[in-house]
């Protein structure tokens, strides 16, 4: 539990902080007045004013926020330096900067991993490196570090042997896995399940990872390429979700915290990988054209640029309320999913 809490604070804090820093630095560069840049939320623990901006540390260490003057045109106290008074293009830059930073962060994290530890690839030995929550391997009691010895009596010597055997598994048909843990050999029954998204039969076992060192230049290139591939994969998955809506796999704060804890239990590198994946996810989701998200705000600025004047305050109020209501419903639905997974586990 402690690992899960600390991991969740680290991941959520890092992602939101990087996102807000993007808004902060571009607001400064475009001449806007930033009244406060806060690390965390809630009561202030410490604050110090440098120039016109107050920098504060707050009690709840989950991200942070910016107080940019003039975000509400009706309450602009910064004159021409208020957000609402700046050219549309400048405001677009500030709005897009948060998600842009979420796209840059994975490149930085992957680069640090590749340059210091190396590029990960599945280990040759059939050793369990991860377990998918809710799948039969986890439910049967298998653990990270267990070495698979055989499947239904067929000897397993390499991870590739195990993958080839899994291809022949039938959904719902029990399989006996023999494994070694702490020099002790035991058997367990797992029931493969059909993964609707990938249309593959799975038992929920992931390989352990071996790392291959890379020179600095190659590490950067690999980081950019890997980030691009994941980004494209996420866009495709999002498109599939709109074609065939399903919220069964939607995870909320509780689910994400659990995944962060599970990643942390296997080491700092898996946790950084998870943070990189979640950062990309956050960047994409935040750019969706939904009022109350940066994407919705950006669409409003595009409309303003076309019309030559901003939307009315009444229209903005109603769209913002609709966006907030939608986000609250999605959060409630995702949290309900999380609770069902926890209680039925």
Q: How many secondary structure helices (H) and strands (E) does the chain include?
A: 9, 12
Residues 82, 32: contact at Cβ < 8 Å? yes
Distance between CA atoms of residues 160 and 122, nearest Å: 9
**Residue ranges in 198-293 assigned as alpha helix (H):** 216-243, 253-265, 268-286
With tokens 């016109």, the residue in question is: 52
> Is 20 a residue of the active site?
yes
H or E stretch at 3: helix 2-29
Q: How far apart are the first and last CA of the chain?
A: 16
Distance between CA atoms of residues 151 and 205, nearest Å: 13
Of 194, 188, 152, give the one whose Cα is nearest residue 172: 194
DSSP-based three-state secondary structure for 71: coil
With tokens 């590490």, the residue in question is: 219
H or E stretch at 110: helix 88-116
Strand bridging mode 147-151 / 128-131: unpaired
Residue 155's DSSP bridge partners are: 150
Residue 210's DSSP bridge partners are: 121
Distance between CA atoms of residues 92 and 139, nearest Å: 48
H or E stretch at 329: helix 313-344
Catalytic residue among 20, 36, 212, 213: 20
DSSP 8-state class, residue 84: G
Burial label for 139, CB within 10 Å (0-12, 13-18, 19+), is middle
Residues involved in catalysis: 20
């Amino acid at each position: 539990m402690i690992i899960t809490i600390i991991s969740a604070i680290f991941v959520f804090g890092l992602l939101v902080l990087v996102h807000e820093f993007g808004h902060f630095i571009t607001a400064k560069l475009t001449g806007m007045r930033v009244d406060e840049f806060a690390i965390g939320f809630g009561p202030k623990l410490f604050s110090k004013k440098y120039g016109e901006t107050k920098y504060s540390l707050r009690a709840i260490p989950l991200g942070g926020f910016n107080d940019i003057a003039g975000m509400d045109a009706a309450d602009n106290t910064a004159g021409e330096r208020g957000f609402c008074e700046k050219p549309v293009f400048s405001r677009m830059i500030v709005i897009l900067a948060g998600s842009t930073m979420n796209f840059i962060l994975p490149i930085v994290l992957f680069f640090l991993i590749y340059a210091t530890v190396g590029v990960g690839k599945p280990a040759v030995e059939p050793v369990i490196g991860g377990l998918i929550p809710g799948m039969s391997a986890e439910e049967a009691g298998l653990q990270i570090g267990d070495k698979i010895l055989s499947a239904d009596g067929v000897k397993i010597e390499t991870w590739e042997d195990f993958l080839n055997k899994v291809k022949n598994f039938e959904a719902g048909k029990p399989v006996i896995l023999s494994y070694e843990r702490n020099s002790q050999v035991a058997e367990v029954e797992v029931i493969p399940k059909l993964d609707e998204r990938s249309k593959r039969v799975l038992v929920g076992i992931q390989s352990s990872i071996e790392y291959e060192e890379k020179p600095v230049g190659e590490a950067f290139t690999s980081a950019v390429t890997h980030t691009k591939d994941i980004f494209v994969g996420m866009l495709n998955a999002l498109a599939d979700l709109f074609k065939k809506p399903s919220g069964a796999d939607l995870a909320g704060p509780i689910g994400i915290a659990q995944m962060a804890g599970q990643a942390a239990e296997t080491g700092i590198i898996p946790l950084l990988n998870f943070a990189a994946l979640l950062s990309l996810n956050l960047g994409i989701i935040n750019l969706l054209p939904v009022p109350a998200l940066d994407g919705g705000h950006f669409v409003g600025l595009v409309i303003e640029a076309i019309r030559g004047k901003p939307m009315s305050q009444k229209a903005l109020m109603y769209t913002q309320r609709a966006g907030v209501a939608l986000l609250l419903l999605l959060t409630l639905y995702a949290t309900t999913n999380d609770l069902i997974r926890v209680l039925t586990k």
